[in-house]
Amino acid sequence: MTRGIAKTQFNIRLDDELLGRYREYCERHGLDPAGQIVLFMKRVVEAEYDFQEKLWEALRATAD
């Protein structure tokens, strides 16, 4: 039997008004609120690694 991807619970504290507006936004656009947070987190991580790679490329280019 194969196991799925390991998951963890992520708890954050938000202002009630912000959370309410976020949920309304997701509902208006047919989005899953939790899924959108996960997608955002993935984008942040990917952008950081892209940035890091571009930084290394720039440093290599200036070292030549």
Query: For the segment 23-61, what is each residue's pLDDT rounded down to a tens digit?
Result: 999 999 999 998 999 899 899 888 887 888 888 889 999
- Give the pLDDT band of residue 1 (cuts 50, 70, 90): low
Question: Would the pTM of this model clear 0.85, i.e. be above it?
Answer: no
Using alpha carbons, select from 33, 31, 38 the residue that is nearest to residue 8: 38
pLDDT tens digits along 9-32: 888 898 999 999 999 999 999 999
Helix residue spans in the chain (DSSP H): 16-28, 33-63
Whole-number Å distance between alpha carbons of 59 and 61: 5
| Token couple for 2 | 């194969």
